[in-house]
Chain A
Amino acid sequence: MELKFFWAQVRDLTVASLKSRYRKTFAGFIWVVLNPLMMFGVQSLVFKTFMRIQVPDYNLFLLGGLLPWIFFSSTIQMTTPLFVTQSYLLRSFKINPMVILTSQVIDNFINFIASFLLILLPFYISSDRSLSALLLLPFALVPLLIGTISLGITLSTINVFFRDTNFVMSFILNLLFYITPVFYPKSYIPVKWQWLVDINPAVYLLNPFRSVIYFEGNAFWIDLIKALGISILLMCVALGVWKRKRNDFYHKL
């Protein structure tokens, strides 16, 4: 029953926030696609044309990593300060903070879907990959969503106690971008440095998406199981932090 209320609240909040954004300006929607499009354009130019990374179908390879990365990193940056910016609402009456956070993530997820449809799909169709592999995509998105929501809850809660967490996080995300195989394949990394990838939770969450888009579903299920494992672990951490810090959370808000 609780879960049913939860989704009704998330749905209404998400719809309202979309309404609020697009009432102001429809250009908001163009921005949503323009931002990843420019990131993609510049990175494709630099890595494929200037630095000549030798990966077949590089544009598709890049998009398969870059789009979920943009979703992941921009969502983390948006949600980390969320509980503090919404403190007035959270203090006003009993409302599950997870509702607000989940709605923000889903709002961002809709942007992700838009950039997928408008940027990635044309590339995918013009390559001669099988369209049926795309049927695996919804599965690939489940751990990405769960993991991002969970990490968002943890970081946003920490940010209530340490108000500079969001600055530290944007710094960390900047670093993380370079050691996450987004614009280069994992095989480029010397063996003695591969542990850097193995301990990076973002890698696990992103992998299934590229596995569908670029590798036509090869090794997909193994990637998916690993991603689900990591996302469930992140969820346990989030719930643990929330449970332990709940009282202090309201007191510090």
Chain B
Amino acid sequence: MTSTTSSEILLSVKNLKVHFELEHYQNNNLREVFISAITSPIEYFIKKPELLHVIDDVSFDIKRGMRLGLLGVNGSGKTTLCRCLAGMMVPQKGSIKTEAQVRAIFDIGTGIMPDLTGRENAFLLARLFFPEMKDLRPLVNESLEFSELGHFLDIPFRQYSKGMQARLMLSLVSSQPTDILILDEVLDGADYFFQQKLSVRMKNFIKSTGATIFVSHSADQVREVCDVVLVMNKGKLGFFGGVEEGLEYYHKNMAPTLNPSI
């Protein structure tokens, strides 16, 4: 794809830092907390929480028209970064400046009420996903048509296959232009044909407005969709730039962390 990136900055990330408290990953229930508070009370109450730095001083800009591929091995902070951009998490340090509307999607098998039909779930999802829309009917009807689910729309959502769930969700999400859309490893659920159809829709809608962030492990997908690549490396920004260089960086720098003997 040719680059359509303009110089207008939609979102600006500066010195972003996010950490979690490690103790939450050691004690998983109140019984354990109770036991450790009883067995070593002094240590329990004066111990400072150990911190797990998930994002460490990351800065970059997202410009209008950018199709950013976000790469990195598991645990490198990709999803946390996306959650911060989407406004779900709040960074401890640094800033995210944006006037843009950011929508993010991290999972696609989301039925809210499994006993209700796909159609009813679609309306509910639309209400949650597009809270500012007054009349949801045109949007949902268009998405349902696009999903090609036909008579499956009126059976309970619990009977949907993974692929059907993906179709419903992705059709809805891509139905409305958004300033910035974040897709975290969600294209994998749909079948090949629907991916093709969806990718045309996405490209059209990227052309009309905004920017897109794709999180993916597939080099092919990144090549096809993205024009810029960001590689997260152990919580730091490893690379930010062209697609081929980015993929090369990713493969060169991430591979050695895998143990070759396994």
By a beta-carbon cutoff of 8 Å, the part of chain A in contact with chain B is 5, 8-9, 12-13, 16-17, 19-20, 23-24, 88-89, 91-95, 99, 161-165, 168, 246-248, 250-252
Contact = CB atoms under 8 A, between A and B. Distances in A.
A238 to B, nearest CB: 17
B127 A8 contact: yes
Given A13-B112, A247-B90, A164 B29 contact: yes
A250 B124 CA distance: 22
Given A17-B113, A23-B115, A247 B127 contact: no
Contact of B30 (A5, A16, A164): A164
Interface in B107-140: 107-110, 112-113, 115-116, 120, 123-124, 127-129, 131-132
Q: Secondary structure of the A side of the interface?
A: helix
A5 B127 CA distance: 9
B172 to A, nearest CB: 10
Given A92-B106, A247-B20, A250-B89, A16 B80 contact: no
B83 interface: yes
A92 B105 contact: yes
Given A20-B113, A162-B30, A163-B28, A13 B124 contact: yes
- Bin the interface of chain B by size: 35 or more
Contact of B103 (A13, A94, A251): A94
Nearest to B31: A164
B27 interface: yes
B232 to A, nearest CB: 16
28 contacts: A5-B131, A8-B127, A12-B123, A13-B124, A13-B128, A16-B116, A16-B120, A16-B124, A19-B113, A19-B120, A88-B107, A88-B110, A91-B106, A92-B107, A93-B104, A93-B105, A93-B128, A94-B86, A94-B88, A94-B104, A161-B24, A161-B28, A162-B30, A164-B29, A247-B90, A248-B20, A250-B83, A251-B80
Interface of B: 18, 20-21, 24-25, 27-31, 33, 54, 80, 83, 86-90, 92, 103-110, 112-113, 115-116, 120, 123-124, 127-129, 131-132
Contacts of B108: 92
B38 to A, nearest CB: 16
B208 to A, nearest CB: 21
B112 A5 contact: no
Contacts of B28: 161-163
A35 B29 CA distance: 31
B24 A9 contact: no
Nearest to B111: A89
A9 B128 contact: yes
A95 B89 contact: no
A93 B112 CA distance: 12
A12 B115 contact: no
Nearest to B121: A16
